């Protein structure tokens, strides 16, 4: 009888420990944010590719040509560093004298809730960010898919709501995103954002979700030295570096 009671107590204790460990793994960024581990499957069909670079230059998109965004961006943006050719958009980070030149490609139109996707190959270089995201500056609402060039076997998901961020989540891909094209996506709904890798749902946020329509964007840029802890120390000996895109996709939630 004593042995049976002891076994039961050990079982309960082990079960409680497993439950706590599992719960911690599923809530890396707060009680409402969950690591899914490939729960659903959803790929973009050709009809929803709103910027298909495999077919040439799309309507409704353009490249920036200006001094850039300031800190933490450590480059200007030039139209000449965004090239559509051979069935893809290539955005490059280069050096011009003592200055660095990146690129940003964006939609003229703003988009609201729905399924956003991209087929891309990330840039590989410590201190360099390549991305696909939605953005509205007033108020600052943003949803991100970002590759930190010091380790492109990972992708960072993030979002901002009225300027409030700190929702970063790093997902381990199981492959190098700089070596081949893969599809990355997020499904933005009023009460959640679900991120996908090659069709599999891998992460969901349900707290303080953005609500303001934004432009669809992709860019490449290098961080300043004081952001080396985030994206790695920038090493310009690898320049030029590039990110490549086959298409952007959007399917309205309506």
Tokens of 168: 């970063």
Nearest to 123 by CA among 245, 228, 226: 245
E-strand stretches of the chain: 34-35, 51-52, 61-63, 76-77, 82-85, 88-96, 99-111, 114-121, 128-137, 140-148, 154-160, 169-172, 182-189, 192-197, 200-205, 214-222, 241-252
Residues 3-29: tens digit of each pLDDT: 444 444 444 343 333 333 333 333 344
* Side-chain-facing half-sphere of 179: CA atoms under 13 Å: 8
Distance of CA 81 to the CA centre of its chain: 21
CATH 3.40.50.300 for domain 32-252, yes or no, is no
Tokens of 19: 């439950």
**What pLDDT does residue 232 have?**
92
CA–CA separation, 32 vs 204, rounded Å?
A: 8
Active-site choice (46, 104, 109, 142): 142
Find the mean pLDDT for residues 178-200: 98
List the end-to-end C-alpha distance of the chain, in Å, as a whole number.
62
Active-site choice (104, 146, 183, 244): 146
Specify whether 142 is catalytic. Answer: yes
Nearest to 86 by CA among 60, 63, 56: 56
Q: Is 0.85 surpassed by the pTM of this model?
A: yes
Specify whether 146 is catalytic. Answer: yes
b/e for 220-229, b at 16 or more Cβ within 10 A? bbbbeeebee
Residues 117-150: tens digit of each pLDDT: 999 999 999 999 999 999 999 999 999 999 999 9
């Amino acid at each position: 009888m004593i042995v049976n009671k002891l076994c039961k107590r050990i079982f309960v204790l082990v079960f409680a420990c497993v439950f706590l460990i599992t719960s911690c793994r599923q809530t890396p960024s707060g009680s409402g944010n969950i690591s899914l581990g490939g729960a659903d499957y959803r790929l973009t069909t050709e009809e929803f590719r709103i910027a298909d670079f495999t077919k040439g230059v799309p309507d409704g998109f353009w490249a920036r040509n200006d001094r850039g965004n300031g800190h933490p961006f450590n480059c200007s943006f030039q139209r000449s560093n965004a090239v559509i050719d051979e069935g893809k958009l290539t955005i490059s980070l280069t050096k011009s004298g003592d200055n660095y030149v990146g690129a940003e490609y964006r939609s003229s139109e703003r988009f609201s809730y729905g399924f956003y996707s991209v087929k891309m190959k990330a840039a590989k270089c410590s201190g360099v960010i390549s991305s696909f995201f939605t953005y509205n500056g007033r108020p600052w609402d943003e949803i991100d898919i970002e590759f930190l060039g010091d380790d492109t076997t990972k992708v960072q998901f993030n979002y901002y709501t009225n300027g409030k961020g700190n929702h970063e989540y790093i997902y381990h891909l199981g492959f190098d995103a700089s070596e081949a094209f893969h599809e990355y996506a997020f499904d933005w709904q009023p009460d959640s954002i679900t991120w996908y890798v090659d069709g599999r749902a891998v992460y969901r946020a349900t707290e303080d979700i953005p609500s303001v329509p934004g432009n669809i964007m992709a860019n490449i840029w290098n961080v300043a030295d004081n952001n080396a802890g985030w994206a790695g120390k920038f090493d310009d000996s690898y320049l030029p570096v590039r990110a490549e895109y086959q298409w952007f996709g959007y399917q309205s939630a309506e």
